[in-house]
């Protein structure tokens, strides 16, 4: 008889549903405090030994940078380059967890770059981006199903869902 792991049984729709359900629960618990939501998500990833305390601190800083960039007086271009710099440093560290890299890449992916007709580049950011938060939730759920590899896949799916949410919010 062939032995099956949860990752061979649970498919993409189930993982997407689990990410959405968990996201709703985290949002309800924190009543609109987006930074507290993200902090809670990172605490869960730390408790599950998917990221270190230092990585959680770094990821919270990336989230705060993005959050501030989305405020009316924020500077998305400066925040983008700061986020890209931190992400590059994380990539260069040989012991950075793959889950931390997925969440950091979702933070970087939350910025949108567009070329202007005059040759310059404009950087924009949603006032509140769900990319990195949902990447964290997805990573946590995915790791339960398939360890670190499941965490990476779940984080990518969560980040994708967050990007879709951000895109829909921006087109109201």
Q: What is the pLDDT of residue 12?
A: 64
Residue the block writes with tokens 């965490």: 151
pLDDT digits (tens, 9 = 90+) for 99-108: 888 888 888 8
Contact, 102 vs 133, CB < 8 A?
A: no
Q: What is the pLDDT of residue 171?
A: 45
Confidence check: pLDDT of 2 > 60 = no
Of 110, 132, 169, 165, nearest in space to 34 by CA:
132
Length of the chain (residues): 172
Residue the block writes with tokens 């896949």: 153
pLDDT digits (tens, 9 = 90+) for 55-86: 999 999 998 998 898 888 999 999 999 999 99
Beta bridge partners of 115: 121
Confidence check: pLDDT of 167 > 50 = yes
Extract the tokens encoding 54. 């230092």
pLDDT digits (tens, 9 = 90+) for 114-158: 888 998 888 888 666 666 777 777 777 777 667 777 777 777 777
Q: What is the pLDDT of residue 112?
A: 84
pLDDT digits (tens, 9 = 90+) for 23-34: 778 778 888 788
Domain range list for the chain: 13-170
pLDDT band for 20, please (50, 70, 90 cuts).
confident
pTM, entire model: 0.76
CA distance 140 to 137: 5
Confidence check: pLDDT of 16 > 90 = no
Q: What is the pLDDT of residue 6?
A: 53
């Amino acid at each position: 008889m062939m032995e099956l792991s949860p990752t061979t049984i649970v498919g993409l729709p189930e993982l997407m549903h689990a990410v959405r359900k968990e996201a709703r629960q985290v949002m309800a618990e924190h009543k609109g405090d987006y930074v507290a939501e993200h902090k809670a998500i990172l605490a869960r990833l730390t408790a599950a030994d998917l990221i270190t305390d230092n990585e959680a601190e770094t990821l919270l800083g990336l989230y705060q940078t993005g959050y501030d960039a989305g405020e009316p007086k924020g500077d998305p271009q400066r925040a983008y380059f700061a986020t890209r710099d931190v992400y590059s440093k994380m990539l260069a560290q040989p012991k950075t967890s793959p889950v931390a890299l997925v969440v950091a890449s979702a933070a970087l992916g939350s910025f949108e770059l567009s070329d202007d007709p005059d040759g310059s580049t404009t950087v924009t950011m949603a006032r509140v981006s769900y990319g990195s938060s949902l990447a964290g939730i997805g990573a946590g759920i995915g790791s339960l199903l398939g360890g670190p590899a499941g965490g990476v896949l779940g984080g990518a799916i969560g980040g994708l869902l967050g990007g879709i949410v951000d895109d829909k919010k921006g087109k109201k």
